[in-house]
Chains A and B, each alone.
Chain A
């Protein structure tokens, strides 16, 4: 029963229910294939979701809207640099991560120096980053090196490699959030920035590192996604703006900051992928499919509130 009180359990329950409903449509024939697909694609959502979670934990108004543009720029530039040469795989990865970190620095520089709300700063910067991505090669789609393509689409004992990468990152994020002093500080800042400052936390350093971490993960995700899907496209990150926020909040982290959890991100990422699959499988048209997606999201959050601890009240 205490499990039912965990904020993240509802995303997992929803994912499992939706999964069962989908394979029911084919009398179980699709179970393994669907699970594999779900874990593969959830991996991307998880990677950006983890970064977004640390940023959202920083408190109201903190959200990184530059994730899609960062993914695109990191994907385009690194693929262009590697130019299908296997030997360039590591430099390519380094460049993707470097671009992410750079965007993260720039994000926080704007937030700090100009004192503009993060939501606006990251949005504004994302336009600039997107332009840079267009400028670098005008959207030409270069193929990834053979080994990287094989790795990103491959499996290990039936588990998608990407899911393994995302799981390792999840574990690291969990340790960081729940066990490390840095995670404590991020959480403290999210509850009250002035109180955290007076408690002696180096608030700017911590916030900066959260933004850099988030953008770096976005860069990594862009790199993996473009290797996975055979090249970087200018609009390849677009979907991940909403997804990165949705997996965090559906996963049971508080949108007001200061109270986040990691397991929910996986549950929510699987859920978001599976819900679309389910509705596609049942043959819903675009309109009803979107309506049902929305209603199911609300139902999940409602169910969580009926059983979980009351979130209001001082």
Chain B
């Protein structure tokens, strides 16, 4: 019974649509859960700026406020370990997701970001067996997710040596930054056959290619509604084909249920894996339909889904 337990969401960044969708999913799922008396409270906390230190302070405050569990999307996999350790010592259950932490006392709901990078190249190899030049758009330098996805992409290129990465820019996971960076390097690049991305930057890349009047390569998309819509338009107009891959913001709700289960006394393995959300040429329309205008393709989890994930891992 967890009806007297209180769960907090500690979030380090709210400045993009992915994080906003994550917060919305949290609200839609935990609201009814609180009403139904499954838990006593499920409050969301966001820091003013995306920084590990500020989030560490936030975690310490949550400990002080006596939450029973903290669900955490971490700014850094290691820099919060000190604070997480303090939480564990104070008897607080910590469940990290998306941005996971390495502190052993915490649970991790991880996405295989490396694989997320690799499948992009695999897909391209399938589409373009003869290979060609790729442009890589990376995220924010020095951040774990960026390094992982990029490592996966490079592993993919090693696996399919017919591809060469001829240019790499940092798009900071933002459409306008990606557009700016791609526009700057594009004039000096040879013919590009594919663009490998990290999510949230595909539309910006497409805009830059369009503006430069270059032939449109296969741009891997990142599940954003505007990306999907652009893809759909191209598909209808010229049969453009690509794929889209990213992590679903609703994974926050999975983390919520996992935390609830741990508080309920269930044995849960420390490491759980969630699949990333892939959209293909065939599922495009269906996904576009369910994605809110200007939002991100999403999946929300129920208690049953969570139990299934836990049992799979166990």
Contact = CB atoms under 8 A, between A and B. Distances in A.
A and B found bound together: yes
Interface of A: 22-23, 25-26, 29-34, 37-38, 40-41, 127, 130, 134, 137-143, 153, 225, 228-231, 233-236, 238-239, 273-274, 276-277, 280-281, 283, 285-287, 290
A32 B224 CA distance: 32
A141 B176 contact: no
CB-based closest 4 A-B pairs: A140-B294, A30-B187, A277-B184, A33-B187
Contacts of B170: 286
A239 B184 contact: no
B167 A142 contact: no
A235 B16 contact: yes
Nearest to B49: A127
Contacts of A127: 48
Contacts of A31: 187
Contacts of A33: 186-187, 212
B174 A276 contact: no
Contacts of B169: 280
Interface string B180-214: 11011111100000000000000110010011100
Contacts of A25: 188
A230 B206 CA distance: 11
Contacts of B96: none
Given A238-B174, A273-B184, 6 more contacts: A130-B15, A134-B14, A139-B294, A277-B184, A280-B169, A286-B142
Interface residues of B, number: 45
A140 B292 contact: yes
Contact of B207 (A30, A32, A141, A229): A229
A139 B186 contact: no
A37 B226 contact: no
Given A142-B293, A231-B175, A280-B169, A37 B212 contact: yes
Nearest to B208: A37
Interface of B: 14-17, 19-21, 23-24, 48, 138, 141-142, 167-170, 172, 174-177, 179-181, 183-188, 203-204, 207, 210-212, 224-226, 229, 292-295
Nearest to B230: A230
Contacts of B175: 141, 229-231, 233, 236
Contacts of A239: 172, 176-177, 180
Nearest to A137: B294
Contacts of A283: 167-168
A52 to B, nearest CB: 19
Nearest to A275: B184
B184 A229 contact: no
A26 B187 contact: yes
A141 B225 contact: yes
Contacts of B176: 225, 228-229, 233, 236, 239
Nearest to A80: B294
Nearest to A68: B15
A37 B174 contact: no
A38 B188 CA distance: 13
A230 B187 contact: no
Nearest to A25: B188
Nearest to A286: B141
Nearest to A155: B211
B96 to A, nearest CB: 23
Given A26-B188, A233-B17, A141 B174 contact: no
B203 A230 contact: yes
Contact of B185 (A138, A225, A280): A280
Contacts of A276: 181, 184
A225 B294 CA distance: 16
A143 B187 contact: no
Contact of A153 (B207, B224, B293): B207
A74 to B, nearest CB: 14
Contacts of B24: 138
17 contacts: A29-B187, A30-B187, A127-B48, A140-B293, A231-B175, A233-B175, A234-B15, A234-B16, A235-B174, A236-B176, A239-B172, A239-B176, A276-B181, A277-B185, A277-B188, A286-B142, A290-B141
B202 to A, nearest CB: 11
B17 A141 contact: yes
A37 B294 contact: no
Nearest to B178: A229
Given A33-B212, A141-B17, A141-B224, A233 B174 contact: yes
A34 B168 contact: no
